[in-house]
Structure 1
């Protein structure tokens, strides 16, 4: 692997755990600069402010390829913006990168910078892309170091959610909206509800429960 392909340094503002994840496991993939398309997009009615949002996303995350997520069919193959898409009901959404497989939904950046999925319905997963990346880093660490891993799907997730709300505290760095992470004394719970909400398919919700973790995995700094 070429040293030039490494992501170093990682975008500022991430936790220590997420910086390590991006710099060690992420790659920079060459891609087109969207700035030359500005005039064309303006001519097609895309507001200038939305183009600037797409450019800002490109400058922070564009071309970064991360290991597959444990949900959402792995997530975007490479984080890369494309022409913003508008609707009167949901505002403007910016494509965040193509999926790794053919999918029923796309990965988008929402009007307020949220990271989420869209399939006729906009469903924000995290408050921004940093939160999505933090969740990937947390899942990577937890799946490697947990002594036990339990996966729950469908209606059974509701009981897990109640346990998390009562006995755990939210993991703030993932900035969860539809998807959330919760931590206990030596365990983590990831609640993935985005597909269930976006596709109106309750059977798609999942909970991943990681037990026997060290403190660094729980609090990544």
Structure 2
């Protein structure tokens, strides 16, 4: 058996993240030992998994594998430890691979989609962010907002559809798809639609409204 790659428990954030997300990864995250994807390549090829999909899983694993971050504010905390596993799919439908094990038993899993999207797959596919970087940016922003907000309001179910987002600025670094962040004059709003989409359950819609933020709370990091 190939030994796990030795790593320092103090992570170095991948290039390309905002200063806020970089600090979040390096101060709040840890790295754990991990096995590389390459040792599985031959077996996966024998199971008709395209080499390009194995390359994609390996690239994800090299960038994020073994990184454990604090729990997300939704999705039962998100993956326990980020890391790729065997791709699943077909040439007709596209290919997905796991992004990391769940923290608890759940009706869906965290996956990386055909276009590199980070999302959840239950009864259907729900891409949350256009990249894993976007997912990590959203975790860092939630951590930042919780620290600086004077009020935090949780909105659930169909009431989420009645939130007034007119005039608010989308937070672009999270590259949101099903999940989005919005910035107002003194507020940040996180809208979580992925669980409702992947489980076809509108009651699972949720939004968090962080109010009373000053300039640092809105843009800091």
Please give the TM-score of this superposition, normalised by the length of structure 2.
0.94
**Superposed, which structure 2 residues align to 1:81-92 within 5 Å?**
81-87=84-90, 90-92=93-95
**Superposed, which structure 2 residues align to 1:1-221 within 5 Å?**
4-8=8-12, 10-87=13-90, 90-160=93-163, 163-164=164-165, 166-220=166-220
CA distance in 2, matches of 1:93, 1:217: 36
SS at the partner of 1:98? Answer: strand
Structure 1 alignment gaps of length 5 or more: none
- Cα pair 1:131 1:176 within 8 Å, conserved: yes
Deviations 1:121-146 (A, max 9, x none): 11100000000000000001111210
- Cα pair 1:75 1:99 within 8 Å, conserved: yes
- Cα pair 2:123 2:200 within 8 Å, conserved: no
Q: CA deviation at 1:185?
A: 1.4
* Compared CA separation, residues 90 and 191, structure 1 to 2 (3 A): farther
CA distance in 2, matches of 1:6, 1:174: 24
SS at the partner of 1:23? Answer: helix
Structure 2 alignment gaps of length 5 or more: 1-6
CA distance in 2, matches of 1:138, 1:218: 9
SS at the partner of 2:79? Answer: coil
SS at the partner of 1:189? Answer: strand
SS at the partner of 1:93? Answer: strand
Q: CA deviation at 1:88?
A: 5.5
CA distance in 2, matches of 1:220, 1:60: 25
Q: CA deviation at 1:47?
A: 0.3
Q: Which has the higher helix share?
A: 1
Indicate the larger mover: 88-97 or 137-146.
Answer: 88-97
Q: CA deviation at 1:220?
A: 4.5
- Cα pair 2:109 2:121 within 8 Å, conserved: yes
CA distance in 2, matches of 1:114, 1:213: 30
Please give the TM-score of this superposition, normalised by the length of structure 1.
0.94
Deviations 1:142-176 (A, max 9, x none): 1121000000000100111xx11x12110000000
- Cα pair 1:154 1:204 within 8 Å, conserved: yes
CA distance in 2, matches of 1:99, 1:6: 22
Deviations 1:74-116 (A, max 9, x none): 0000000000011456410010000000000010000000000
